[in-house]
Amino acid sequence: MKSKVTGLILAGGRGTRMGRVDKGLQPFREATLAAHVLSRLAPQVSMVAINANRNLPQYQAIAGESPVLPDYLDGFAGPLAGLQVGLQFCPTELLLTAPCDSPFFPVDLAGQLYAAMEAQGADLAMAVTMERDLEQPEAAPFRQPHPVFSLMKTAVLPQLDAYLDTGARRMEGFFNTLRVAEVLFDDSAAFSNINTLEELQHHERAASAAPPPPATGPATVPATRDGDPAALPVEEARRRICERIAPVEATETLPLLAALDRVLAADIISPINVPAYDNSAMDGYALRGADLPANDTTTATATATFKVIGIAYAGHPFTQAPQAGECIRIMTGATIPPGCDTVLPQELATAIDGDQVTIAANVVRAGANLRRAGEDLQAGGIAIAAGKRLRPADLGLIASLGICQASVRRKLKVAFFSTGDELRSLGDQLDEGCVYDSNRYTLFGMLTRLGCEVIDLGVVRDDPQALEAALRDAAGKADAIITSGGVSEGAADYTRNIMALIGDVAFWKLAMRPGRPLAFGKVQTEQDSAWLFGLPGNPVAVMVSFYMFARPALLRMMGTESTLPTLQARASETIRKRPGRTEYQRGIVSTGADGAAHVRLTGAQGSGILSSMSEANCIVVLHHDQANVDAGQMVDVLLFDGLL
């Protein structure tokens, strides 16, 4: 189902009730409202797009690689205008909408709407709740539709176009032209939206007072079918972690070249128009559009001949305005000479004879083939929004503005150590019953790739005093601490006591494989504090838990967010999977003869088998509710490239 659905976040409104601020960009739980909606929508769909009409660079920063689509209709025409552009873009057969100001909607919204749509053969499935009138609690509850939470067939676009052509703009009106399935949800709070800044602040305060389940209802922890109802689903653990973590504030200003891969701390404002002047997009002839032969079908054979009076090169403008019937030979990137408003690409000239250029009617439109001053960026506009991790293109963009430095967040300091009496460091003799410590090497690699400053604290013995000393030391040196080993049930007793002694750390059993145990919380000494991620000891479990839990949290501390690069691939073989837990299997994805992505497993999937991790180029994600996968079915994969 997921592969058939594209998600669309509706953020194109005027935000009138918030005093015309851009709702989606309002800060909410250490991110923005739109980012929250995105993080809830993304796991339910194959890809997401954002519909926005203002502050496009900021929305682009939230969207990452996903597109940001402005309305095609003018004048903030409402949700249907957003829907129209979403359907025009939608590459899949279904589109799911969610508004940017409702961050609490159900995590299985897509699945529930899809089931009803299929069962009823509908064009569109819409969420509905039953509400009571607070003034008249005795009165019967009434039906409240939520048209902005709808799943629809992309094929309804022509009907929407026709509806909008009549000048109508109401969602309900449009829905009346379709076969609609209504899906009753019992948690009405899940669809509540935030209308005013006061409401937003109210939700913010509620969040900091008690880390609440978002209003998906009291049962935010779905029961697992893993035989262990106490096991925490992966999504829930990730949410609990990210909810507590805030970005590290400190920033520094770096020369541009040193800012690669760093997180931008302040918006880059363009000091100039880019391009700075109108220039030619083609090699050809600059002329006055009014001199062109009339673009008129009755005179389609008409031509006009121009006299070439000079040449404009990039960097060498030609400053004389042409008279009627004159043109200037012009190269790509050259300033448009005064008086000219059109460029004829040279290959479209009917004839060129010495300094005479003949042009036929209908080959070029007045105003064509110019790059206008400010067309790329306007002076004073935001070129790159804070929070973006600077990639090569960003360095180039900043340089194109003549800016030679950038304000970035300081590097995150992350300390790590391994625990276990059986561990030996490289160079030591491998005694009977011992293993070389490999986790510190994988952690070093993963943290370095993430752009952290790493602090390697070595191996710590299975001994309460040693563990306490190591945690205190780490809290003094780092923003976050990553440990491996010692958190599984057998081992955790004394770890738990020590961590309780110097911090506030929760020990979770997760509904996942590999990597069932996880400790997370804050280590607090008299002077210092740091976030602790206690990862399991098994080498594969360490990596998987790092990617799933530590990575998003560390990115958030770094002041940025990143979704994982996922892809859908066809399973080459049957994959066994028990519903009720998330499984991560090592896979090799490749392009098949049909041009599509295919994935096979690397063989033995034991959580200690690091060789299969080394051999793999992706992780196959088998979601919580998923069961056995047949050969030929599509599965989600996380690519290591981009992740590592």
- 3-state percent breakdown (helix, strand, coil) of the chain, nearest 5: 30, 30, 40
Which range in 121-129, 354-362, 419-427, 570-578 contacts ligand AMP by CB under 6 A? Answer: 419-427
Site for ligand AMP in 431-460 (CB under 6 A): 435, 437-439
Instruction: Pick one of ligand AMP, Mg ion, none as the site partner of residue 483 (Cβ within 5 to 8 A by kind).
Output: none
Cβ-based nearer residue to ligand AMP, 161 or 422: 422
Parallel, antiparallel or unpaired: strands 303-312 and 356-360? antiparallel
Site for ligand AMP in 615-644 (CB under 6 A): none
* Min CB(529)–ligand AMP separation in Å: 25
Sheet strands side by side (includes 124-131): 68-69, 47-52, 5-11, 94-99, 142-153, 124-131, 180-184
How many residues lie near ligand AMP (CB under 6 A)? Answer: 17
- Give residue 542's Cα distance to chain centre: 25
Cβ-based nearer residue to ligand AMP, 44 or 538: 538
Instruction: Pick one of Mg ion, ligand AMP, none as the site partner of residue 439 (Cβ within 5 to 8 A by kind).
Output: ligand AMP
Cβ-based nearer residue to ligand AMP, 214 or 420: 420
Instruction: Pick one of Mg ion, ligand AMP, none as the site partner of residue 93 (Cβ within 5 to 8 A by kind).
Output: none
Q: Is the peptide bond before 211 cis (omega within 30 degrees of 0)?
A: no
495 binds ligand AMP (CB under 6 A): no
534 binds Mg ion (CB under 5 A): no
538 binds ligand AMP (CB under 6 A): yes
* Min CB(607)–ligand AMP separation in Å: 8
Name which position in 322, 420, 503, 521 contacts ligand AMP (CB under 6 A). Answer: 420
Cβ-based nearer residue to Mg ion, 313 or 494: 494
484 binds ligand AMP (CB under 6 A): yes
The crossing angle, in degrees rounded to 10, of helices 492-501 and 464-477 is 50
- What's the one-letter identity of residue 262? R
Instruction: Pick one of Mg ion, ligand AMP, none as the site partner of residue 422 (Cβ within 5 to 8 A by kind).
Output: ligand AMP
| 236-240 CB contacts, 8 Å cutoff, 24+ apart | 237/508, 237/510, 237/518, 237/520, 237/549, 238/548, 238/549, 238/552, 239/214, 240/211, 240/520
CA-based nearest residue to 256, from 453, 61, 394, 58: 394
485 binds Mg ion (CB under 5 A): yes
- Tell me the three state secondary structure of residue 293: coil
Instruction: Pick one of Mg ion, ligand AMP, none as the site partner of residue 161 (Cβ within 5 to 8 A by kind).
Output: none
545 binds ligand AMP (CB under 6 A): no
Which range in 68-76, 146-154, 197-205, 537-545 contacts Mg ion by CB under 5 A? Answer: 537-545
Cβ-based nearer residue to ligand AMP, 54 or 513: 513
* Min CB(20)–ligand AMP separation in Å: 54
Cβ-based nearer residue to ligand AMP, 30 or 437: 437
Report yes or no: 85 and 140 within 8 Å, Cβ to Cβ: no
Alpha helices in 234-370 (DSSP H): 234-244
374 binds ligand AMP (CB under 6 A): no
Report the run of H or E that residue 161 belongs to, with start and end. Answer: helix 157-165
Tokens 């750390």, located at residue: 505
Instruction: Pick one of ligand AMP, Mg ion, none as the site partner of residue 438 (Cβ within 5 to 8 A by kind).
Output: ligand AMP
- Tell me the three state secondary structure of residue 312: strand
Backbone angles phi, psi at 633, to 5 degrees: -75, 155
106 binds ligand AMP (CB under 6 A): no
Q: Is 626 left (phi over 0), alpha (psi -120 to 50) or beta?
A: beta
Name which position in 109, 423, 558, 618 contacts ligand AMP (CB under 6 A). Answer: 423
The crossing angle, in degrees rounded to 10, of helices 33-41 and 56-63 is 40
- The contact mask relative to ligand AMP for 496-535 (x = CB under 6 A, - = no) is ----------------------------------------
Tokens 């809830």, located at residue: 40
420 binds Mg ion (CB under 5 A): yes
418 binds ligand AMP (CB under 6 A): yes
Q: Which DSSP letter does residue 407 get? A: E
Give ∠ CA 163-168-174 in degrees, rounded to 5. Answer: 50
Cβ-based nearer residue to ligand AMP, 349 or 459: 459
Which range in 41-49, 80-88, 537-545, 554-562 contacts ligand AMP by CB under 6 A? Answer: 537-545
Tokens 């954002």, located at residue: 50
Catalog residues that contact ligand AMP under the rule CB under 6 A: 418, 420, 422-423, 435, 437-439, 484-486, 488, 491, 536-539
> Which residues bind to Mg ion, rule: CB under 5 A?
420, 485-486, 537
